[in-house]
Amino acid sequence: MQTGKMLAAVRAQKPLVYHITNTVTISECANITLVCGGLPVMAPAPEEAEEMAAHAQAVVLNIGTLTREQVQAMLLAGRKARELHTPVILDPVGVGATGLRLESAKKLVAEVSPDIIKGNAAEIAVLAGGTAVMRGVESVAVTGSVAEMAASLARETGSVVAVTGAVDLVTDGREVVEVHNGHPLMACVVGTGCMTASVMACFAAVEKDRLQAAAAALAVFNVAAEEAARRAQAPSAFKSALFDALYSLEPAVAEARQKIVRKVNGK
């Protein structure tokens, strides 16, 4: 997988990534987009959603701090992106926690047809119709095979599905890619999941193969996390080091250190 080439393309092309995202991690998402090589814009108002989406090279929809008005903006932006063949990344944060989140995520999947759906194991299981336990927005337990549910969701929606965890998994319903990079400190910092979607958007903006874009983005972000953990061993310092590590990560180093395993039909 040409991970380094994709990272270099992001830095050369500087794609504009339009976010309608949650208020908890909006700064983190903007900054990670910038240090990855993209240009972030955050604009939640429905009145400008279509116009902003028309200017963007990728769109991130994150339901972390959801309101009805925000759902309206997401639908407007998502439909415009679909019309213009601009990649859309849906981050269904806490989708199993409340009825509003589940209703909204399903509506976005049905009406926007996101190119990539990224979530933790519980979020993906719930969207796939499975059973999962969540505490707030955190995945606690999932009943059944996450890989099988992710593949089923991918086949049903036509989206590439990315599941984050100790080992990240990306599937288009036929092929499965595992990303074995990363560090436990990522779970100690609020926002690493949201930031992952932003990095995926940067890569999807420059790579038409959404499976490859999602897997490469995970590998690059996780390699940066490994480097950040080498520099800092506590959450606050790690968060700061993560931005610096991604900013300074050389494409050749990212490709050399990626730990990607590709499978077909999960084998």
CATH for 3-173+189-213 is 3.40.1190.20
Query: What is the identity of the amino acid at 250?
Result: E
Structure tokens at 67: 């309101």
Summarize the confidence of residues 230-237 as an average pLDDT.
Answer: 94
Query: What is the identity of the amino acid at 24?
Result: V
Answer with the residue of higher pLDDT: 233 or 7.
7
Beta strand residue intervals within 5-57, DSSP E: 16-20, 39-42
Return mean pLDDT, the chain. 93
**CA dist., res. 33 & res. 115, Å (int):** 18
Q: Tell whether the model's pLDDT for residue 233 goes beyond 70.
A: yes
Residue 248: per-residue pLDDT: 98
Confidence of residue 110 (pLDDT cuts 50, 70, 90): very high
- pLDDT one-digit tens code per residue, 127-157: 998 776 666 555 556 666 888 999 999 999 9
- pLDDT one-digit tens code per residue, 209-219: 999 999 999 99
**CA dist., res. 154 & res. 28, Å (int):** 28
Residue 1: per-residue pLDDT: 74
Q: Which residues of 188-197 are buried (b: 16+ CB within 10 A; e: fewer)?
A: ebebbbbbbb
Cβ-contact 160, 211 below 8 angstroms? yes
Q: How far is CA 52 from CA 42, 65, 74, 186, in A?
A: 9, 20, 11, 31
